[in-house]
Structure 1
């Protein structure tokens, strides 16, 4: 075994001891969590080496990623590259990516031919460093990488094995066979430069983007002995697909990679600005400090090392998105295909993340919120609308316009670093302007080559008070979620002193009630003639479910989805007792599907119905069932941190059921104490006296020494700092049972 391989193997063996030592928060993060299918599920995560919100993420590649497939899967036995990717989630595509792969022996350019076996015992994965030993025919290749916001530094130690003509080779794959990428060589500068114009989701949005390219500069520390491009003889490639550089066997090759969406020159500038020296250990240490500054804002007492690993990994996942999309004061806009001055972000999985992930960022990364909202408003100015799911342009994925919720939450929590007039223009357009062809299109999910979807069926919503299932796809879910967005627009109008608009949108936010069917005690889609559509259940045929108008769910999944109007749902159902009984039936009937976001707030709903002890038991049950501790420990796609944020809030003991309200519903804190270090320098601490797996029930609570008798915590109370103290016990108590939600008025 070579020295580098031996060191990698020893570091893998020492990993558990390092975790046990718990020297800092970063040491607990396990980026492999969620990368394997298991009895719990499949998180679709990747072991990214990147700073918080990094523009380019670096990961080992065990398979060719595409829509529905991410680059790394723990069960794969081989690695075919080390990739700079921009794929944010398994159901989104990649764009502008670049892959490097070390080789010893014959040149192999396809992923299948160049893939090399590896063992997980030789693999270490941390937010600041990934290392592995690959087994080539000529011996072991030790590989390691660390990163900055837009760049990576890699080093490869090659074996001396093979004959005199054997080369130590670094392959640079710029693009895939169906894509016309470009590569050039500069022997004097030791550089391979080029671009990759691939954009997987190019067919989903309304725009062609002829200027879009992911640029790169690959710079080697030492001069190569040979370098060539490849792909010109491929009939499907108009330009080179990649290149390779060859070195003397037995050497260590260091390579640094700069990425950009502006130009090759900007990629080189990013590289030299972020990696000015060839110092792997210094870069890794800097990245470690960046993560520690963020992760260290959360402190946990009374948890095992495995539990700390699960929580800090969740926070790592939550701090990856949305990703930076600007480069030192400039950014490429995928909404008008030009370059602008300013700050930008992308990869907002808003239908997922508006629920809890964005609220987690307001606590853990508040310094980013103004820039993130500004980016959405820039998208509005450049493309005409705030996006639903930018990647990096419009994709028309999912329903409603929940960017309205992000803007309303920023207003509610006192963020001021964005243009409030433009924010009003953007949310007002969402709420009042139907998309092009609204009454002539069905607006199926991921329907290619359509205009921007915005609020599909808004024409009917304004006329009828609901979206009819026989006119628009996913109409029932859209009606309920549009109602919530109307409530958000109303809150923004109120904050801006627009009283008439406030009253108008507040009234319209009650449209959710138009779908309540008292005969079945559930929300039910309607047709354009006012008759009920098929209810739609998990046992129904696919045709009936589509006719029912639900999005990734059914009537049970969506009945409680109007986050702002639980008081109205209580009244519709005939009171709190009936409301709670229906929730009992929901859970008993197996309707709660935590792997998907519409169910995420359901465990907390008993707080509204006056039975908070059921919330306390239920959220503990969900956390135990849906979240594990190793690579197979995450159910459902993490969806840009939403699954992870649910766990973090639940561990803390509170959750933002209506995120734009600034209120958090109290559940059951999972550990003896957890503390948040706030941006103000204050600390908010949650203590749970007598806490254990068998003591999930709150007996009493105080906030800064004063009795807290309702199951609600506010943004202001958290920001003021102090201590929320619970006394826990093994039996339900009546704590918090006297509270009821205020009606929408």
Structure 2
């Protein structure tokens, strides 16, 4: 098995090194399984280097466990490069923990870390630059392998071969020690990703039987008061175990500190700095399972039933089968490098929101209490500021209706349990972090409802959306309701907050109207126009405005960061965020030509990183366009609002090869739990959901020879190209089921019905296609006026 995975990984990386061209109302049925070549095309190491912050951990689609390697756990002042715990550029391993984020701009998790060791028992991890200074070990990428649901590496300093696989709630370890070696194992409950002082508030560890141990950790990291419970089952009972609290024990075997029990053979221990050592004798091979629960140790013990027996290969093959089924939603014909990038992107897009519920339906909510899901599976890890844009619209196309209904029901359950009575902002393990801006659960729910997803209480959903949009204590919402915009003298980052609140309100209006709630729809359609107060025709930017109605002075359109009027961006990146009202943007800039000129200026400006100072999220710069962060993701598609879709095709042809490459550093910025990846999947297919809940996609240009979406309603939607090549980047015409499309708009209803979208490509721009106002996306206000 290691040999076959090694061969696939080597071939994939070789194709990338060669830089091959990048060109050449829904009901639920399971997607077709992909053939193994699609599964083998995934390179889980893409995004593990640079600023991608992805993990190569073994996990399942939306799995609760992400079992994989950690190379560094750093303090909060140094943690940014290690948000996923693992970084390709490192050459030593801390161990293997069971929870990881993939592609976030903030770190946490890294729970229940194990490290196999030999020789002297060391309880401290040691230092990367000093081999044998602790239990840490060197490793080599030449002896590291990974594929969906599997990770393997050789721990060089201890000469142990590690293999990891998983079920939804359980991680399965298989370690092979040298013949005759006393197999040892360290369990470190102190270590945590984003490990600033005092993160571990309390932890417990106790022996349940000769083969089983359970425990918990209470942490205050990104999410406060997070409780995680675990259960360990060893195939072979340890011959000896030591339970240490390194705040009170001298950390070596056999020492009895005054007033404390001997750490050897302890049955239970509590404290803030627990670490355990296990010995098994010369067993050669060691296997053990670890189950997780946010509810209780008993819940973790019950979750061990996810994996019956000790057949590692069977568990691994079951994981591969689940990934094969999930990847089967998309069939691709593309150049090898593009095919690898796309299947890896789809793999990344299918990891969150992750399951956060025990086998019996119990889960922990944002109130810290235990609840039970009835009729749905509770999921958490919602990075909504990122994922409402493209990830959730993609999941509506590649996941069953039941799964998407589970996501909505999870949001509604969190709102019901929230001490504030609002929908999640950025949550994981059921808890709220309050990270980022907007109330972006609204477009996720509205888009799902308007695209036919049912299986949740739509009236409760509308009331939850209203509650979130009216919660005045959150991020300037009270000022927004009073003024129609967020004044800079009342709340920081007011321009960004206004623009995003307005879009969220528009999606609420769309859903209310579809439900026959005309009064609510009218109220929120008006709220959704509040951004117009910040548009300044004199400068052509959306600008901060005070409570007195005056624009903020002085004005610097490149000012970014904390203390500015913009979130993780500048006026150059954020002034174009009114995806529900392209007419307003055209109007502010004096017509079609004005919008085209301004968009050209964004991409063609002479900029560099120094212009924005140290802004970790302003990455992937092309002029002022910053693809490494979400506020820029729709910008290239805005040319369609001005009747110049050929310019979109031109810009996308430059963005894709620069921002997405094979190899560990292949992502220009954080994957943000699949948003960067979802952008690539949509863009490669030739269209993008600029305004979720609009019922339409803006057509760009394809990057694949052909593709088939196996939709959750059983229909198949085909994308086919004629004449595509490295130079033929322009759409000459597009035909839907043989009928020419007048412009760059694809309706979701047409996609959901199945059929074929044909792109005829050429080397020269067709500047006539898409000019007619009626053919433009969301080109009039209100939206329905264009129909």
TM-score (norm 2): 0.85
Of residues 274, 286, 301, the one that matches 1:268 is 301
Q: Which runs of 5+ in 1 are unaligned?
A: 1-6, 204-208, 436-452
Of residues 103, 121, 142, the one that matches 1:121 is 142
Q: Which residue of 2 aligns with 1:183?
A: 205
Q: Structure 1 residue 735 and structure 2 residue 769: aligned?
A: yes
Q: For structure 1, which segment, 325-334 or 724-733, has the greater mean C-alpha deviation from structure 2 after superposition?
A: 325-334
Q: By how many angstroms is 1:742 displaced?
A: 3.7
Q: Which residue of 1 aligns with 2:155?
A: 134
Q: Structure 1 residue 350 and structure 2 residue 369: aligned?
A: no
The answer to whether the 8 Å contact 2:295/2:364 transfers is no
CA-to-partner distance for each residue in 1:255-296, whole Å, 9 max, x for gaps? 111111121121111112x11111001001110010000112
Q: By how many angstroms is 1:634 displaced?
A: 0.6
Aligned to 2:758, what secondary structure does the other structure show? strand
* C-alpha distance in structure 2 between counterparts of 1:537 and 1:299, whole Å: 47
For residues 479 and 619 of structure 1, do their structure 2 counterparts lie closer, same or farther at Cα, with a shift above 3 Å needed? same
Of residues 180, 186, 190, the one that matches 1:171 is 186
User: Following TM superposition, where does structure 1 have runs of at least 4 consecutive aligned residues deviating by more than 4 angstroms?
Assistant: 7-11, 17-22, 535-540, 545-548
Aligned to 1:290, what secondary structure does the other structure show? helix
For residues 87 and 340 of structure 1, do their structure 2 counterparts lie closer, same or farther at Cα, with a shift above 3 Å needed? same
* C-alpha distance in structure 1 between counterparts of 2:125 and 2:73, whole Å: 7
Q: Which residue of 2 aligns with 1:94?
A: 108
For residues 47 and 65 of structure 1, do their structure 2 counterparts lie closer, same or farther at Cα, with a shift above 3 Å needed? farther
CA-to-partner distance for each residue in 1:31-63, whole Å, 9 max, x for gaps? 1111112xxxx2011102111000121111111
Q: Which runs of 5+ in 2 are unaligned?
A: 16-33, 127-133, 192-196, 251-269, 606-622, 783-787
* C-alpha distance in structure 2 between counterparts of 1:36 and 1:479, whole Å: 34
Q: Which residue of 1 aligns with 2:86?
A: 72
CA-to-partner distance for each residue in 1:335-365, whole Å, 9 max, x for gaps? 1221111131111110011110111111111
For residues 515 and 198 of structure 1, do their structure 2 counterparts lie closer, same or farther at Cα, with a shift above 3 Å needed? same
Q: By how many angstroms is 1:22 displaced?
A: 7.9
Of residues 222, 232, 243, the one that matches 1:229 is 243
Count of residue correspondences: 697
For residues 158-557 of structure 1, the aligned pairs below 5 Å read: 158-160=177-179, 167-176=182-191, 178=198, 179=200, 180-188=202-210, 190-203=211-224, 209=225, 212-231=226-245, 233-234=247-248, 238=271, 241-249=274-282, 251-272=284-305, 274-304=306-336, 306-342=337-373, 343-367=377-401, 368-383=403-418, 384-392=421-429, 393-435=431-473, 453=474, 456-534=475-553, 537=556, 539-540=558-559, 548-557=564-573
The answer to whether the 8 Å contact 2:229/2:294 transfers is yes
Aligned to 1:258, what secondary structure does the other structure show? strand
The answer to whether the 8 Å contact 2:85/2:110 transfers is no
Q: Structure 1 residue 156 and structure 2 residue 175: aligned?
A: yes
The answer to whether the 8 Å contact 1:686/1:723 transfers is yes
Q: Which residue of 2 aligns with 1:16?
A: 10
Aligned to 2:190, what secondary structure does the other structure show? coil
Q: By how many angstroms is 1:538 displaced?
A: 6.4
Of residues 31, 34, 37, the one that matches 2:44 is 31
The answer to whether the 8 Å contact 1:12/1:121 transfers is no
CA-to-partner distance for each residue in 1:620-677, whole Å, 9 max, x for gaps? 2111110001111011100000000111101000000001112100011001101111
Q: Which residue of 2 aligns with 1:43?
A: 52
Q: Which residue of 1 aligns with 2:261?
A: none
The answer to whether the 8 Å contact 1:8/1:122 transfers is no
Q: Structure 1 residue 55 and structure 2 residue 64: aligned?
A: yes
* C-alpha distance in structure 2 between counterparts of 1:737 and 1:360, whole Å: 28
The answer to whether the 8 Å contact 1:182/1:195 transfers is yes
Of residues 733, 743, 759, the one that matches 1:726 is 759
Q: Which residue of 1 aligns with 2:721?
A: 688
The answer to whether the 8 Å contact 1:695/1:730 transfers is yes
* C-alpha distance in structure 1 between counterparts of 2:518 and 2:310, whole Å: 59
Q: By how many angstroms is 1:95 displaced?
A: 4.1
Q: For structure 1, which segment, 232-241 or 124-133, has the greater mean C-alpha deviation from structure 2 after superposition?
A: 232-241
The answer to whether the 8 Å contact 2:12/2:43 transfers is no
Q: By how many angstroms is 1:239 displaced?
A: 5.7
TM-score (norm 1): 0.90
For residues 602-617 of structure 1, the aligned pairs below 5 Å read: 602-617=635-650
